[in-house]
């Protein structure tokens, strides 16, 4: 009951304002600029270009949203405003921003390391760096499970995401420091179950949200933004993958 009361901060959360949308737009522009505006680099047949455009827009919009959530969380912590991040939806958005930053930084480290070394396969560098990046992602998700002011079922969701990233960290470590055949089997297993696991996490989030709606529990718009971020991410990225499989047959 104490956790639920702490998570129900709707009266303290400011209403959606223009500056929130400006922050989101600015973060989308930052993501696009950081990635070299991949929208202008589409190539191939028009169905393939459509798929590439959809993939780029999906990544820009969702990554920009998570980055905006992380920026808001940082501002609230520095300004000692206690309304965000508090609830599960808040932390889903905030940890999403952390995962985005860790992913982008690890990609840049991999590129630089590969470019200025004598290696022949960039995948080796990516898996080496990814070992630490995925490990830090797991730490971020576990921190969300620890810090969220919500009931224990929501904490299980964050632990579920942490297990997924920890799996890829272990796989990268085996590839880098152990037997690559074993790592290859791990990677095949992970690739097979990665999206079913994402859909299982989404089902858990939707189920918990519906249960709260039935109980008429009040939630603020930032909480629902975090829930919407996860829903849109899984659904849209699944559609992009399906579109890619259709246009590359």
Q: What is the pLDDT of residues 166-203, one digit of tens each?
A: 999 999 999 999 999 999 999 999 999 999 999 999 99
Of the pLDDT bands very low, low, confident and very high (cuts 50, 70, 90), residue 69 is very high
Token pair listed for 218:
């009040």
Return d(Cα 190, Cα 188) in angstroms, integer. Answer: 5
Owning domain of residue 87: 2-37+45-247
Tens digit of pLDDT for each residue in 8-65?
555 588 999 999 999 999 999 999 988 865 555 556 677 777 778 888 899 999 999 9
Burial letters 193-208, b for 16+ CB under 10 A, else e: eeeebbeebbeebeeb
| Rounded Cα–Cα distance for residues 70 and 102 (Å) | 12
C-alpha distances (whole Å) from 59 to each of 5, 104, 107, 234 are 34, 12, 15, 11
Three-state DSSP state, 61 = helix
For 223, other C-beta atoms within 10 Å of its C-beta total 28
Could you tell me the pTM of the whole model? 0.90
Total structural domains within the chain = 1
């Amino acid at each position: 009951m104490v956790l639920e009361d702490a998570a129900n901060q709707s009266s303290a959360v400011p209403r959606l304002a223009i500056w929130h949308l400006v922050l989101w737009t600015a973060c989308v522009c930052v993501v696009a600029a950081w990635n070299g505006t991949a929208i202008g680099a589409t190539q191939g047949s028009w169905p393939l270009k459509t798929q590439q455009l959809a993939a780029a827009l999906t990544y820009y919009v969702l990554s920009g949203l998570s980055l905006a959530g992380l920026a808001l969380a940082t501002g609230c912590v520095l300004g000692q405003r206690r309304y965000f991040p508090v609830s599960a939806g808040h932390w889903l958005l905030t940890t999403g921003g952390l995962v985005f930053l860790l992913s982008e930084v690890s990609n840049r480290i991999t590129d630089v390391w590969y470019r200025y070394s004598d290696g022949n396969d960039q995948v080796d560098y990516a898996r080496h760096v990814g070992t630490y990046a995925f490990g830090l992602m797991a730490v971020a998700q576990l921190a969300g499970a620890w810090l969220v002011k919500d009931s224990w079922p929501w904490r299980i969701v964050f632990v579920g995401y942490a297990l997924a990233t920890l799996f890829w960290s272990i796989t990268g470590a085996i590839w880098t420091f152990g037997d690559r055949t074993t790592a290859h089997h791990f990677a095949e297993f992970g690739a097979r179950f990665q999206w079913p696991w994402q859909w299982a996490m989404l089902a858990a989030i939707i189920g918990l949200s519906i249960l709260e709606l039935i109980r008429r529990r009040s939630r603020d718009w930032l909480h629902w933004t975090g829930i919407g971020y996860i829903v849109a991410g899984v659904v849209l990225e699944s559609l992009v993958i399906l579109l890619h499989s259709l246009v590359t047959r």
